Structures are given as C-alpha cells and as structure tokens.
C-alpha cells in the first residue's frame, strides 16, 4: 500500500492523512494526563496530524456529586474513555498520544490506557495545583518517566517562581517542567519535545 506524503510537525492539526510517514522509525506511546479540565483534549487536538479521536460526553446533574467543578465551572463536557492523536517528530519519531480521563471515577481505565506507554506528559493548572497530586501519584506508581507542563490559563497566577512550582509538586530535580498553551500547536509540541528528550536522556546508552 502506498504511503501518503510524510507528515511533519508543520502539518496542520486535524489533517485526515492516516498513513504513517515513510520516515517513521520509532513509534512511541505517550500518555497525556492530568486532572479534570486541565486541557488534555485541547492539547491533543492542537497537535494531532490525524483527525483526533475524542470520547467527550456532556456533564450531567448525576455526575455533579463526583465531578469536582471547582475552578472549571464553565466546563460542560468530559472525556469518558480516551483521547487519541498522532504526531510525527523530526528523526523518525512518531508519538501516539493517549489522553486519560481526569476523574477518580475513571481510575479503573488507568492501567489499560497506560499499558505499553514509554512516558507521560502531565498537564497542571496553576490555579489548582493540588488537583494534580493524585495523577502525579498514579504516574509515579506506574514507574513512567514524565514531564510536567503548566497550561497557561488566562487567569492563572503569574507570581510563582519555577522553584516554588517545582517545590509545590515535589518534583525531582531531573523532571522536566515547562509552561505551555494547550491551544497552540507550537507550544504543545515544545512540551512533548521536552518529554521526548527526557526519555532519550534516560534510556540506556546502547538503546539511544
């Protein structure tokens, strides 16, 4: 079967080209995770070179007692299974992006979604840092290397220093921590590149 034109990071998000580029060499499964309403669906949608898969449903009154809307009162939908997208990076690296649901009630899906992943990009909302603790705990329990990206919401506080944010999340000094705008493809790609570089740096030398 003939392959379509190779996709690159310059491809427009949402392109319907489903074929892998000819240059694809390393296929990598990455989790995009974080608490409810942090921007996981938005990030995957902004970078995916294929039409992303979303499993969003409307929030209902029945979910009100279990879905904490503090800080995200305007949110009307939620991911109930996964988000999925794909992006090709320079050097033949292709990332398969799997977005996880953010609520505790979807915890049983976590192990299945995380299976086979090489790393995780954890999105954090600086307006509600404590909402990220449970997700960070899950990532660390699985042993996945990860990077942290603070999604820059317009009303997020700007006075915290990187050192204060790192301390608040109790991050290891070697854990990458960046800021991003999940709506912007370039910014989101930079966050993914920080994670990929972290994965490369921590692979055994013979496998780099």
Per-residue pLDDT tens over the stretch 131-183:
999 999 989 988 999 999 999 988 878 888 999 999 999 999 999 999 999 99
pLDDT of the residue at 10: 45
Answer yes or no: is pLDDT of 7 > 60: no
DSSP-derived pairing of the beta strands 146-151 and 83-89: unpaired
Answer yes or no: is pLDDT of 23 > 60: yes
Q: Which two tokens stand for residue 65?
A: 């007692």
pLDDT of the residue at 91: 86
Question: Sign (positive/negative) of CA torsion 106, 109, 110, 111?
Answer: positive
pLDDT of the residue at 77: 54
Answer yes or no: is pLDDT of 199 > 70: yes
Answer yes or no: is pLDDT of 70 > 60: no
First to last CA, the chain: 30
Q: How confident is the model at residue 106 (pLDDT cuts 50, 70, 90)?
A: low
**Mean pLDDT value of segment 78-85:** 70
Q: What is the mean pLDDT of the chain?
A: 80
Q: What percent of the chain has pLDDT over 90?
A: 50
Name the residue with higher pLDDT: 89 or 67: 89
Nearest Cα to Cα of residue 84 among 55, 59, 111, 57: 55
Which helix (H) or strand (E) segment holds residue 101: the answer is none
pLDDT of the residue at 55: 60
């Amino acid at each position: 079967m003939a392959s379509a034109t190779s996709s690159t990071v310059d491809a427009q998000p949402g392109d319907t080209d489903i074929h892998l580029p000819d240059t694809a060499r390393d296929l990598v499964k990455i989790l995009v995770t974080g608490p409810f309403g942090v921007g996981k669906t938005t990030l995957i949608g902004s970078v995916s070179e294929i039409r992303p898969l979303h499993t969003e449903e409307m929030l209902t009154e029945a979910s009100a007692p279990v879905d904490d809307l503090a800080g995200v009162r305007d949110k009307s939908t939620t991911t109930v299974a996964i988000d999925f997208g794909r992006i090709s990076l320079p050097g033949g690296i292709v990332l398969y992006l799997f977005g996880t649901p953010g609520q505790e009630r979807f915890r049983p899906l976590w192990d299945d979604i995380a299976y086979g992943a090489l790393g995780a990009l954890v999105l954090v909302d600086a307006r509600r840092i404590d909402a990220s603790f449970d997700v960070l705990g899950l990532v660390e329990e699985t042993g996945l290397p990860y990077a942290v990206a603070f999604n820059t919401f317009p009303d997020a506080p700007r006075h915290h220093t990187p050192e204060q944010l790192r301390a608040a999340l109790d991050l290891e000094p070697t854990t990458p921590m960046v800021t991003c705008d999940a709506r912007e493809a370039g910014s989101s790609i930079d966050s993914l590149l920080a994670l990929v570089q972290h994965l490369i740096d921590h692979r055994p030398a013979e496998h780099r």
